[in-house]
Structure 1
Amino acid sequence: MQQLLRLPLLWVSVVLLTLAGCTSTPHRAPVEDRSVGKSSSAQPSAAGTAITPAPESKPLPGAENAGKPGYYTVKPGDTLIRIAMDNGQGWRDVARWNGMDNPNLIEVGQVLRVVPPGVDAGAVTTRPLASSKVETRPLDGKTPAPSATTAASAPATAAPTPTLAAKDDDDITWGWPSSGQVTAGFDEVRNKGMAFSGKAGDPVFAAADGRVMYAGAGLRGYGNMIIIKHSTNYLTAYAHNQTLLVKEDQVVRKGQKIAEMGSSDADQVKLHFEVRKQGKPIDPAKLLPAR
């Protein structure tokens, strides 16, 4: 009987000794090492589990050229068409120079070459328009807008272009793009070109010999637009058309009817006409002949 009474007391002693042993060894929670300058390799925690550092962000294409002459860093809201026009280039050429598999997909922070390879970005040069090669595509009125947020079309491919005699900037013969009245003149802040009045269907003419770099409705605020390049330095833009009568890569001549006036992306029928030198808008009135 006494042996049976001693058994519970023995178990109590064992439990008390066990509890005493536990309190003598403090418990430590695992701590992640966030100190600066540690190796990027995984570090084991106190619990024996490896802590994997967050992966480094992948640099965007062309990041090594940021800030260099002849390169442009993509900003929110940019489109390839806008970038090309602001730098006096065709968007297909810009896509080709940058080896873009999908010219409709650009990323904010991406750095793009906006001058031809091998050309000094600080030099003013004039070369034959036929020196560039771009894709020939029929005009369907549904040309997508290459942008920083959408991807939609097949990659651009190089194709031979029609030849156009080389011209120095001073040798370009300019003509009026419309017979309508001038309703707004050039203003560096409010109006980057000239506005002409007219009625829907009135003819729009090429202001000089050149090659069509863009024909479509992919640039917000311009509606159905045509961009013609006349030399390395000069291009013209014709906006708000009702109908486009030329297609990309087509050679046009001064006075040729290229579109019909309209009100696309505008509150009234009009032609918005721009002249750009090396991408910068200039006053067309300084180039156009007296009427």
Structure 2
Amino acid sequence: MTTPALARFLRARRDATAPESVGLRGNARRRVPGLRREEVAMLADVSVDYYVRLEQGRETGPSAQVLDALADALALDDDGRGHLYRLAGLAPRPRADLGARRVDPHLLLLMDSWPDTPVLITNAAYDVLAHNTLGEALYRGFPVGRNLVEQVFLAPDAREFHADWWLAAHNSVAALRLAQGRAPEHPRIRSLVDGLLGASPEFARLWAQNQARGKRMEVKGFVHPLVGELTLRVHTFDVAQTPGQQLLCYQAEPASRSAEALALLGALSAKTYTP
């Protein structure tokens, strides 16, 4: 049977898809914020009744061909398409492993060899497993074991620290949703999501939008209490030898104001965080 999660995902993405983004004409008299069910059915070349049954969770598992057509109709990116497949049970799920908590010693050596670059290592739920000195300083002494998504929604100074808090919140929730799709039964992800749903109305609102998108290269803005504004490009790499772990590297544009601020933070952190 079609899973309730798949039905919810289809409804949420239909509501969030602007008609213009898929070649349809929008107008002020539309009663729904996104696409109508019949429009999705037309774009995917399936019957309206069949699509309604999918959204209601009453239809048996759709074929790969139907999923491809729905992904195109809803303008899903590669992450969204993969998430759609996993929810329908047609893509192999990685083992329910967020990445071992032990970080390879050679990876730690590599991370520490970049003293001028903030580096974090996380698992798939964005628990911080390790960081170098500048990575610790960037996140204001953020300790190993804390969670980056919780930091965005629960830290008292999060809205001041993130220059565009809503963008950081959207990206964090979409990345966590993708992680949940890959390991839906993992207790760490369940407890993290449940805790945030109970503690943060903003998280609950964004979680209901059902966006699934991994962290790739992105530009993030910070307002650091010691050095002021920082605009950093974030590179995310999967750790091949330990599936589930990720390496996050933060880079400033050379010769920029942010590069100067990062260098100052490095000088300050060498005194503050080095034993």
Bigger Rg over Cα: 1
TM-score (ref. length: structure 1):
0.24
More helix by share: 2
More strand by share: 1
